[in-house]
Structure 1
């Protein structure tokens, strides 16, 4: 058996094919490129039982990943995050079978580590020496840290309002870090010019083909964790939308391998903020692509993407699975984040809280039924966004006593 069954790259718009053994970015037509595998050979050679005893990280699926030689794998144990049953919040929403795929415990604290691990590993295999990317924070943190592990230099540009902790992660990794007084779209323009001028490898969202392959492992894991059964609904906080595209790609590949039911797909839900909802607006109008969202702003910084390069792929995944797209207010995000912590003991990121609130709303309007199996992606750890929580804590003098929580609650009542 081969370590990888990668075949080639192809354009989902014009169908042009490209080699996977040299550095590639966008298609000549401007579309992102996707990775194709020799699924016919893989179907003969690879069985579910082959996964037995393999390491519990995303590289357990290496046949369906693009790195050809194991020696090029750059890993910190990322992947195989827990799928947690959320009974208390599920009861509150009246969803009997509610689960959270928790990406907050992954290296670097967000699901971005998946794309970075696979993207950096392939970059190493292709001989890349220096990469560049714009980021809202977490992707830059993950890519700069994995690049450091691989011995690859990185140049990162992020909005000045990006979470400070992600700025620190980039800086401590030794990245060539810049802040821009603007949005990620402004950072993208600066990176684009630097790529042209200095010949850097552009790893902006969907401008290289391999980030999707790392993100798609969330889909592979969800299905394996459900013993190869398909959930009814998967909700995903959507900025660039790479994870949602990846999950859809993973499910289609598993269908082609005969590992899951060819007739069933989960309904995919793209969740955005009311302050930046280009995908939602396009879906509501039945369009195949979105329009640039002017003056975007949201506390869920990771989904503050005014125009996604792969918006047509996100919308296609939603349409093809009979899914939907919904937007959530910042106030609802903060309320849901607090509720999740108090009822489940899970401090999720704002983007994850938005996805949970979307599930609540879709259950309320009947789009999700009570008995359906629903998976919500929490894409990062809440502690990476310390500014989303404001607390007023009582300060004690040295000789003061405390009052038990139950007593305080009783007095409030």
Structure 2
């Protein structure tokens, strides 16, 4: 008989120890994050691509491959099935025949973080969690606060004072306990760890310290493949901080292979970082399996300002397995590309998303991306959440004044 979810267990990707998904779990005893596994053999016989045709457009259309066992516990704001837009003018400027953008700016809360929050909060509700705590660079905290309020769960959020101001307001209006730190997300993480020692009943929702955020993020990969009629693109570029989305997309691809919905060929995954914070790029260039802490990190693409990712070994494994790439982009180039996307394609994207376009351009120039390939960039959020990335200099006119040659200028 079909089940709502075919979740089987949790497993450590390092030591392979197995954990029950029916209890609250965080890291493995060896310190690695846990990943969700599914009964793919049973699911393969019960679930087929055509079954999706009559379903709604939220990410819960893939509920068999998500960890929540009962529809009763689903907490949703109709997140998912964001546009996969053709970018013909950008493609022409780069010399790429097929350039597409997965645009997460239209999702609830304005960023892809809503995906992880929807699934993470839903599973927390199913496990009986009453209160969560997490460090954040802003957008994840905002999303988890809003979804937690919908679920009746109390959220405590700790974020750097330099995080986008709008994310503070989202946390506050959702009723979260918000704390600002004069430091980086790594400093916020240390404060959360200290609080958990004092209040062990709090549920640690830090990146990859609970197993279910990644399951929400992987739906980006499921959607991309469905939107391409299960035809695998050649390249997917992802702005990489904690890297949960990239890990999730790779996980989705592997699960689709096991289901038999796609063949053996996988897209080459690209981790895009900022020059001011590029630990994954450094580790990849040096051929290492894990990254080192990046000191004094700073970038205008604040969402990828993560000096050390807990899942770094999983990111690097995905790049290696797909013959991918890791590349760092400087802030000036990020802002230039953000402006170019708006002026050529009419899309106000976030700086992290702009970094993926800059990376595609540079990788095309290197010849790593070929002209005839199908390339997908991930825009992870709405540019309106980063108003300080654009400076507007408009003349102030008295009523009745002729416009003449005064024109709106964007720096």
Q: Shorter-chain-normalised TM-score: which range?
A: over 0.9
Structural RMSD (CA): 1.0
Separation in 1, partners of 2:328, 2:394: 32
Corresponding position of 1:236 = 238
- Correspondences of 1:5-404 after superposition (within 5 Å): 5-199=6-200, 200-261=202-263, 263-403=264-404
C-alpha separation in 2, matches of 1:99 and 1:396 = 40
Deviations 1:72-121 (A, max 9, x none): 00000000000000000110011110000000000000000000000000
Cα separation, 1, equivalents of 2:258 and 2:6: 14
Question: How far apart, CA to CA, are the structure 1 residues paired with 2:285 and 2:155?
Answer: 39
CA displacement, residues 230-250 of structure 1 (integer Å, 9 cap, x when unaligned): 000000000000000000000
Q: Distance in 2 between matches of 1:165 and 1:52?
A: 37
Deviation readout 1:370-408 (Å, 9 max, x if unpaired) = 010000000000000000101211111112022489xx6
Aligned length: 406
DSSP-derived class of the 2:236 partner? strand
Give me the whole-angstrom Cα distance separating, in 2, the residues matched to 1:350 and 1:307: 20
- Between the aligned partners of 2:257 and 2:221, the Cα distance in structure 1 is 12
Please list every run of 5 or more consecutive structure 1 residues that lacks an aligned counterpart in the other structure.
none
Counterparts of 1:70 and 1:387, CA distance in 2: 40
- Matched residue of 1:158: which SS? strand
Q: TM-score, normalised by structure 1?
A: 0.97
Give, in whole Å, the separation in 1 of the partners of 2:250 and 2:108: 24
Q: Could you say what secondary structure the match of 1:305 adopts?
A: coil
1:13 and 1:345 map into 2 onto residues whose CA distance is 44
Secondary structure of the corresponding residue to residue 42 of structure 1: helix
Matches of 2:405 and 2:381, distance apart in 1: 32
* 1-structure distance, mates of 2:99, 2:229: 16
SS at match of 1:52: helix
1:127-182 Cα offsets, whole Å, 9 max, x none, are: 00000000000000000000000000000000011110001100111000000110
SS of residue paired to 1:14? coil
Superimposed CA distance per residue, residues 206-225 of structure 1 (whole angstroms, 9 cap, x where no aligned partner): 00000000000000000000
Q: Secondary structure at the match of 2:393?
A: coil
Tell me how far apart the structure 2 counterparts of residues 169 and 95 of structure 1 sit (CA, whole Å): 38
Deviant stretches of 4+, over 4 Å: none
Q: In the aligned structure 2, how far is the partner of 1:120 from the partner of 1:370? A: 42
Distance 1:147 1:98 in 2: 36
